[in-house]
Amino acid sequence: MYLFVFSILIVLFQYVNAKRVFEDMNNKLGNYKTLSEKYKDSITVLQNDFLEVSHFNLERNEDAISYFENDGYKIDELIPFIKDELYKLNEVKGEHPIIPYASSEGRKLLINTVKMLNHKWIIADFSDGEFWGELLLTYEITEDKNLKFRLVESFLYPLY
């Protein structure tokens, strides 16, 4: 009789404990499902933002890539070359040859960031540590494989 009562108590204890563990696992699973949906929504928003931001980007513009490939250029080599040539202009002695503003107090205005929009346009920002602005440039590769930049528009942010 004692053995029977003891067995029932053990089975009851096991049942209550298993039920508690099962409910805890269900709650955790529900939380994970909620978080998973939240993260999926966040990923979708980020993907949409990425597509919107990268719309004007040479690396994602098939027509612009085809333009260069038809002339025999490899786009993976050409993009870094063009950016490097623009950055090399930062090393020119004196005033920057493209930035139409004079630097202040002996500092030099330098191009910081370059984004190639397509096969003809570049947008870049510049700064000397105190003043900063942006440039819209056109570029072309001449028949003798030289790179020419032309300033289309620029602006300098006001100091506040």
Count: domains in the chain: 2
Residue 158 CA to residue 105 CA, distance in Å, equals 17
One domain for residues 70 and 100:
yes
CA distances for 156 relative to 35, 56, 104, 135, angstroms:
44, 23, 13, 9
Q: Kindly tell me if the per-residue pLDDT of 103 is higher than 90.
A: no
Task: Convert the pLDDT of each residue in 52-101 to its tens digit.
Answer: 888 888 888 889 899 899 988 899 999 999 999 999 999 998 888 999 98
Q: Are 102 and 84 in contact (CB under 8 A)?
A: no
Residues 41 and 111 in one domain: no
88 and 45 together in one domain: no
135/82 same-domain check: yes
Domain residues for the domain of 13 are 1-53
Do 85 and 21 share a domain, yes or no?
no
Same domain for 31 and 91: no
Residues 38 and 62 in one domain: no
Angle, CA of 74, 77 and 80, to the nearest 5°: 140
User: What's the chain's average pLDDT?
Assistant: 91
Q: Does residue 46 share a domain with residue 73?
A: no
Same domain flag for 80 and 145: yes
Which of 16, 32, 53 terminates a domain? The answer is 53
Is residue 34 domain-shared with residue 72, that is, in the same domain? no
pTM score above 0.95: no
